[in-house]
Structure 1
């Protein structure tokens, strides 16, 4: 089952890469912004509850989809880019075993305990 979930996330990451390729931007934007959602880990400075909430919010693939679709609707390149980055980053994290966090600690994820 884990391999099937990873395969699904690889497909999601490839979709994000494809969507980015449809934008008229240099690939440096994708590479430069790819790890930006991880800044949400700063929430852990205020405890595990706030840390888990902030991390999870910026690692929701649905947030990425909503931002991307809003960008299409409003013809906003910034929203499209933000959506693609969040969506792609979340897929990559899940491939690597970083799931959405529980309030009990950073290593407790919906994919199981990390490490």
Structure 2
């Protein structure tokens, strides 16, 4: 089952790369921005509960989709880019086994323990 889930996430990640390729940004923007959502881990400096909540908000695929759709509605390439990056990052993380976090520990994720 884990392999099937990871393959699904990989396909979503590749789809995000394709969507990025349709935007008017230089190719290097994608690798330059792909790890920016991990800034949300700063919440773990306060405690695991705050860290998990902040991490989960930023890594929720619905946020990336909502921002991307808002960008489409407003005709904003920058918002579309932000949405694609958030979505791609979350898919990439889940491909590598990093799921959404439980409040007790960074290593306790929706995909199991790290």
Tell me the TM-score normalised to structure 1 length.
0.97
The match for 2:96 is: 96
- Give how far 1:86 is off: 0.4
Shift of 1:65: 0.6
Which runs of no fewer than 5 residues in structure 2 stay unpaired?
A: none
User: Which residue of 2 is the match for residue 14 of structure 1?
Assistant: 14
Q: Distance in 1 between matches of 2:7 and 2:35?
A: 21
The alpha carbon displacement at 1:5 in A equals 0.2
Matched length: 114
**Which ranges of structure 1 fall in alignment gaps of 5 or more residues?**
none
State TM-score, norm by structure 2. Answer: 0.98
- 1:51-96 deviation digits (Å, cap 9, x = unpaired): 0001111111111111111100000111101000000000000010
Distance 2:86 2:102 in 1: 19
Where in structure 1 do 4 or more consecutive aligned residues deviate above 3 Å?
A: none
Q: RMSD across aligned C-alpha pairs, in angstroms?
A: 0.6
